[in-house]
Chains A and B, each alone.
Chain A
């Protein structure tokens, strides 16, 4: 049975594990304990105590807290009920002019802002850039991920969550 220490997974998640070791992990059978080791790594990384139930982006987590299950930024900012699209509670910056697109693409050909814009979704507290959408103007904001959280814990992990 494959197993890795918390330190190894922490380095892997941080992108700091040496490549030969990373490649061995990629080629090996997957470690069954990974999910909970991963949660433990993430929990040690954050400055707050709410229990992380599921990461949904690099620095965004579904957590258990006094207000129920919410989506939370690594900085501690809460985006509210995890079942709702966190992006609707974020800050947005839209690049839909040649000038603003050039800031990200200084040396390349850029899209026609009449056909496509870039939307940046930021944490209103820390300013972390959580997600970028590239889409036609007027396109509805995407709800990236609606996990079946209860089903995941109950059926796949065999550790049902307490009722909220």
Chain B
């Protein structure tokens, strides 16, 4: 054990050296305390976890932000002096590990000497290259001292609903460089003696559209950190400081070993591969500077290797470069994605902490969006690419669960849930800005044994929640005229993906409302199905009506639109309202809206599992009766013939006709198919001649430029001449 008051930087370097030389966290090769008294060991960890959970709940009551209060966009955790997470709360667990990066960054930068780390200090950060995902994820940490020695850290993160960027809200869609993302706090000491500095608060008040959210969240985070500090000191008083120092190391080493064992228990060693895509369309949209190509197609290939030791290595080789948009991600964000995914799929019990993350490895090719080699790039909407990428990881893991027989754990994965941001003049006549966080309740991917969750899952927060309409209406100059399930929004399959919802609003009591959306893939699906299931339709467009006659219609008691409806070629807005109708793909960036306008925004469902022709007709009849699926989809996709129960009015399956129809559909699809070898022979000609639209050509050119392996595999697959080149 190192001497008391060894400088933090030395402690961190020694810890890393020990990990390297022994393969165990901090050189803990034997879990002595655990072996001596396993019950005491577990009880103490449970105590710390409870301290975290309770600190977070208390803090949520201090916050003014509906994102934190309603939707729970917050997480807290306790760390070792070297910055490794020991215990954490529920909530947005993606940040447990990003905060670890922030702590280590300060230690490595010599913060102990300047600006100094003292009892009562408060440090904050939202710089993704130091350690967070995106600018709205603001984290606060405080050191915990015992008799003059730093023995732990407490940290808390809230996702802020307004970050003061070029466009309002937190996920600053229009940011193309760091300098337009909003208010940065770069590993800054923002307070001392448990008090946030007044000049820091003034900076926030003068640089944010809605400072009340950020500033009260700061107070909530500091309160939660103080609460955790008290709990840690109580434990130290109970067990003694030397016991504590050993205990926290063993907690993490136990977490690391647990992860390796769980991988061996639940999966199969080998190589797993998958991919997804994302379409970024900005052509003709106002505000985007011509810094790069207007439209970009992102390929996100993922290769997961599970070694015989149970280690998981995830490789993003072959993906696209970073770009002048807000969707780049830092290694901290990529780490966070891995951490939150592991907590949901493998570490749902036992010692959940940074140990699990240590049993994994990420290969993030330099220069790609996963590891930009330019720290000036923007990361305000990292989730746009991060969520699809980790959706692939979930499917790869699930392939292992399926092979191993743990079918109840198979999960087709997460999807993007596009966010709506807004700002301008509120319904009270005051300036405002906000991210609408009802997006935290998308549809989930299907499971191998049941349909996905409807409007109840997002990858970044396992406690998904869309929040109450009445609360959101208090915070923005729009009133809901609809919040409905989107039929067929779950990817088709034997088990369909969870469905999403769409909101429809009437803009009210304002003459200046800027609406912006982000994390919205265009022209491609950014998810997939599994084992024959189809992707969810995740390239929905926005529908809006300016200067609508909705109030006049309401007065006359005529039908009003409550959603865009189920006709993609003509929405219910177009069918029922007069005014200027708008259909917009990708990020929604337009002139301000005003009272009387109608705006809709839909979220995403998850991918499907299994062959559609095996779907249960009874379940499908229930889906159609309850608006989760259309009768047309039941018939055309699933081959399920439905009749109507004359007594109840509900749909019911006609089994006999269904069997016949499905037999015919199976024969038809086989007849329409061709051997892959034959298809490849004809497709090769297209590839060799590069008969693709410019965006697809650019995607291949960029992937090949960054990755010799991608080039080699691409050429080998299509048997292309070694001189094959893509010239743009």
Contact = CB atoms under 8 A, between A and B. Distances in A.
Chain B associates with chain A: yes
Interface of A: 9, 12-13, 15, 17, 19, 22, 25-26, 29-30, 32, 34-35, 37-39, 54-59, 87-94, 103-112, 114-116, 118, 120-122, 124, 126-149, 151-152, 155-156
Contact of B630 (A22, A106, A112, A143): A106
B408 A12 contact: yes
Given A54-B268, A107-B632, A114-B693, A144 B273 contact: yes
A30 B693 CA distance: 49
Nearest to A87: B676
Nearest to A55: B403
B244 to A, nearest CB: 29
Contacts of A32: 265
Contact of A118 (B273, B276, B534): B534
Nearest to A122: B673
A105 B488 contact: yes
B551 to A, nearest CB: 29
Nearest to A25: B408
A146 B271 contact: yes
B483 interface: no
Contacts of B683: 138
A132 B528 contact: yes
B62 interface: no
B520 to A, nearest CB: 11
B722 interface: no
Given A58-B610, A129-B611, A156 B308 contact: yes
B505 interface: no
A106 B537 CA distance: 10
Interface stretch (B152-160, B162-170, B712-720): B712-720
B325 interface: no
B405 A38 contact: yes
B632 A132 contact: no
Nearest to B266: A30
Given A129-B612, A152-B268, A142 B274 contact: yes
24 contacts: A12-B449, A13-B407, A38-B407, A39-B405, A55-B402, A59-B531, A91-B673, A104-B637, A107-B488, A109-B585, A111-B279, A112-B523, A114-B692, A116-B279, A124-B670, A127-B669, A127-B673, A133-B528, A134-B277, A138-B700, A141-B680, A145-B403, A151-B269, A155-B308
Nearest to B262: A30
Interface residues of B, number: 92
Contacts of B530: 131
Contacts of A54: 268, 403
A145 B273 contact: yes
B633 interface: yes
Given A111-B524, A140-B717, 11 more contacts: A34-B406, A58-B532, A59-B531, A108-B537, A109-B541, A114-B523, A115-B277, A135-B299, A138-B700, A144-B399, A156-B264
A54 B3 CA distance: 52
Contacts of B649: none
A90 B450 CA distance: 27
A155 B274 CA distance: 26
B567 interface: yes
B532 A129 contact: yes
A103 B637 contact: yes
A54 to B, nearest CB: 6
B299 to A, nearest CB: 6
B273 A108 contact: no
Nearest to B487: A107
A35 B272 CA distance: 19
Contact of B297 (A89, A136, A144, A146): A136
B269 A122 contact: no
A111 B568 CA distance: 12
B399 A132 contact: no
B566 interface: yes
Nearest to A128: B611
Contacts of A140: 713-714, 717-718
Contacts of A105: 488, 537
